[in-house]
Amino acid sequence: MKIQIINGPNLNLLGVREKSIYGNSDFEAYLKELRKRYKNLTIDYYQSNVEGEIINKLHETGFTYDGIVLNAGAYTHTSIAIADAIAAINTPVIEVHISNVYKREEFRHSSMLAANCKGVIAGFGMDSYRLAIESLLK
């Protein structure tokens, strides 16, 4: 089984950025743990701060991978273009957030992407990614 994780803008700064919200771990360290835990899965990782590059990655993996775990960061709340890309591909996409966006500012309460995703997982810290993978395995 092949799973693509895509992280959007500012998520390259995990472990540095707003630690009280996003925690102390950088994504690469967490990814190592995930790959160790799911040895039988191919887990590919991509991060970009650029909307079009996220769309390109969705197109590239969205017809051959078994699942995509997408944390689109702030684009979640704004991007019709990413929503259209999710609708255009065949691979199921799980929307993920590290923080509980519903406990935060109101502009984070709406997602442009959620309606085109298989489901949404938010608020479990980095564990949100693992929970998304678990949901794809079922």
Q: Which two tokens stand for residue 98?
A: 């590290």
- Residue window 68-87: x/- pattern of binding to ligand DQA, with contact defined by CB under 6 A: ---x-xx-x-----------
The reply to whether 61 sits near ligand DQA by the rule CB under 6 A is no
Size of the site for ligand DQA (CB under 6 A): 10
**Nearest Cα residue to 89 out of 114, 65, 115, 122:** 65
The question of whether 65 is a catalytic residue gets the answer no
Residue among 30, 83, 89, 97 that touches ligand DQA (CB under 6 A): 97
Characterize 81-107 residue by residue with b for buried, 16 or more Cβ atoms within 10 angstroms of its Cβ, and e for exposed: ebbebbeebebbbbbbbbbebeeeeee
The reply to whether 108 sits near ligand DQA by the rule CB under 6 A is yes
Quote the least distance from Cβ 64 to ligand DQA, whole Å.
25
User: How far from chain centre, in Å, is Cα 34?
Assistant: 14
Quote the least distance from Cβ 115 to ligand DQA, whole Å.
17
Report the distance separating Cα 131 and Cα 94, nearest Å. 10
Q: Which residues are catalytic?
A: 22, 97
